[in-house]
Structure 1
Amino acid sequence: MNLDLIDTHAHLNFPHYRDDLDGVIKRSIENGVRKIVCVSSSLKDSIKAIEIAKKYPGLVYAAVGIHPHQTDFQEKLSPEEQIKELKELAKNNQVVAIGECGLDFSPAPPTEKDRSEKEQIFLFKKQIEIALALDLPILVHARKALPQVLEILHSFKDKPSGIFHCYSGGKSDIKKVEGLGFYFGLDGNLTYDLGLQNVVKEIPLEKILLETDCPFLSP
């Protein structure tokens, strides 16, 4: 049986694909992938995502956003200036979502830098505001911070919609996420994480979306 697949969270704008992007796209199509959302972690990534979406129209779509950890070590703009720039990028007709954005209270890996909780919360709230203003979904990154993320989402009178990227909450959180109208993004780690497999059984099938988070989380 042939399946038409959609990758709802891929980082084709990352340096890993700089020298083989055409090949990656070709192999994706050959294996049934029909749509790819190219997700961003910084302003630099966001600009690149839009460029890639323009290069592969009808196949790749851009999501622009600022990750809770700082992923661009060369970024010199203040959080306020970054939001101003992001707001303009989000108006591009190649953009279909805001993200990835959210909160991450775990220690940053070597390829990222920690932001303060205050700065993360500011950036997350402002990106929600951009999404609501432009009627775009958000792609939520919530690591070691799910209660705080849910609290922020509930604080908005007009609730955003979107996807909880790489869902890692428990069974008791499923109804909370579903109640906000969000989908659950599931990745390759589901193939070996037995605890996650047990949780996922409780998620309604129609609320599950598949994502690779490439170049990360291979099975």
Structure 2
Amino acid sequence: MELIDIGCNLTHDSFDHDRETVIETAREAGVKRMVVTGATEAGSVQAHELSGHWPGVLYATAGVHPHHAEEVGAETLSVLAELHRETDVVAVGECGLDYFRDFSPRPAQRRAFERQLELAVDCGKPVFLHQRDAHDDFVAIFREFRPHLAGAVVHCFTDTREAMLEYLEMDCHIGITGWICDERRGHHLKEFVHEIPAGRLMLETDAPYLKPRNMKPKIKTRRNEPQWLPWIAGTVAACRGVSPDQLAEETTATAERFFGLEA
């Protein structure tokens, strides 16, 4: 079984002491390729640099998370544009809206989201999207740009069935994380994840966040790692009524097409 983790924060400081081991352990577990998320200007540069040390294994996104929307000015956009000239940088983002935390003012979030969608149109790369408690504003902005975008994945989807169907109607892909393994918050996803078409579903850990809570035996760490993507895959496969091998084959092929990776 070969999997692609389409979203992991491997530049996070929790990996500073054992990053190479984490990557090797993931590969031994069948997670052969990983997309390292860029969520700030500096983080995007670091994601690109890290992927450069692991050609064909790691890839990067470059963007600014809505938590840092106030940082998106002309200089940051110029840095991001330069990064998107690199072949290992495969998507614009993580970008979008987050009204749950409101770490940046909402007008600033909307402006930063629009600027990064414009960047995606210009560079011809797909977008890696974040949306939390901001569905209506998110869709209103995104619909304007969608016809001009190469592709879009709603990363770490945790929303309702209705929201998912609206994203699918806009030809978006859906990224599923260990949230679906959380009996407290993610149980609702199990009821409709089977409705995502095989060619639109991708898997991610969002490591070091969202460690699957249903792993057995329990592992005594709060840090999530890409090596546990197969556990998420098994949970999703059971919900979809397919084998883990079939799900791995389908989601790997989908990620290869979406990010333009070699098979």
TM-score by length of 1: 0.89
User: Is 2:34 the partner of 1:36?
Assistant: yes
What is the aligned residue count?
208
Report the CA distance between 1:140 and its aligned residue: 0.5
Shift of 1:148: 1.4
Selected match of 1:11 from 3, 9, 12 = 9
Contact 2:40 2:65 in 1 (8 A): yes
Return the match for 2:194 from 198, 201, 214.
201
- Is 1:103 equivalent to 2:97 in the alignment? yes
- Work out the CA distance in 2 between the residues paired with 1:99 and 1:78: 12
Q: SS at 1:142's partner residue?
A: strand
Q: Quick check: 1:170–1:199 contact (8 Å CA) kept in 2? A: no
Distance 1:35 1:179, change over 3 A: same
CA offsets, 1:128-174, max 9 Å, x none? Answer: 11111111011100000122111111112733212101112212222
Alignment of 1:1-219 (within 5 A): 3-70=1-68, 79-107=73-101, 114-156=103-145, 158-160=147-149, 161-192=151-182, 193-219=186-212
* Residue 16 (structure 1) shift: 1.2
* Unaligned residue ranges in structure 1 (runs of 5+): 109-113
Q: Distance in 1 between matches of 2:62 and 2:130?
A: 13
- CA-based RMSD: 1.7
Give SS of 2:174's match: strand
Deviations along 1:40-97, whole A, 9 cap, x unmatched? 11011011001111000000001001000029xxx9x563332222222222222111
**Distance in 1 between the 2:72 and 2:27 partners?**
39
Distance 2:146 2:34 in 1: 31
Compute the displacement of 1:205 (Å).
3.0
Q: Distance in 2 between matches of 1:179 and 1:159?
A: 16
AA aligned opposite 2:18: D
Contact 2:72–2:112 (Cα < 8 Å) also in 1:
no
Contact preservation (8 Å) 2:146, 2:170: no
Three-state SS of the structure 2 residue aligned to 1:163 is strand
Q: Aligned partners of 2:43, 2:72: CA distance in 1, in Å?
A: 17
Shift in alpha-carbon separation, 1:158–1:38, aligned structure 2, 3 A: same
1:101–1:140 Cα contact (<8 Å) kept: yes
Change (3 A) 1:86 1:196: same
8 Å contact kept, 2:130–2:154: yes
Instruction: Please state how far the C-alpha of 1:99 moved relative to its aligned partner.
Output: 1.0
Partner AA of 2:172 in structure 1: F
Query: In the alignment, residue 155 of structure 1 is paired with which amino acid?
Result: E
Structure 1 counterpart of 2:75, which letter?
E
- After the TM superposition, list the runs of 4 or more consecutive aligned residues in structure 1 that deviate by more than 3 angstroms: none
Which segment is superposed worse, 41-50 or 79-88? 79-88
| Inter-partner Cα distance in structure 1 for 2:193 and 2:167 | 13
8 A Cα contact 1:138 1:162, kept in partner: yes
Secondary structure of 1:156's match? helix
Distance 1:78 1:202 in 2: 36
State the AA in 2 paired with 1:200: V
- 1:111 matched residue in structure 2: none
Tell me whether 93-102 or 58-67 shows the greater mean CA deviation: 93-102
Which is helix-richer, 1 or 2? 2
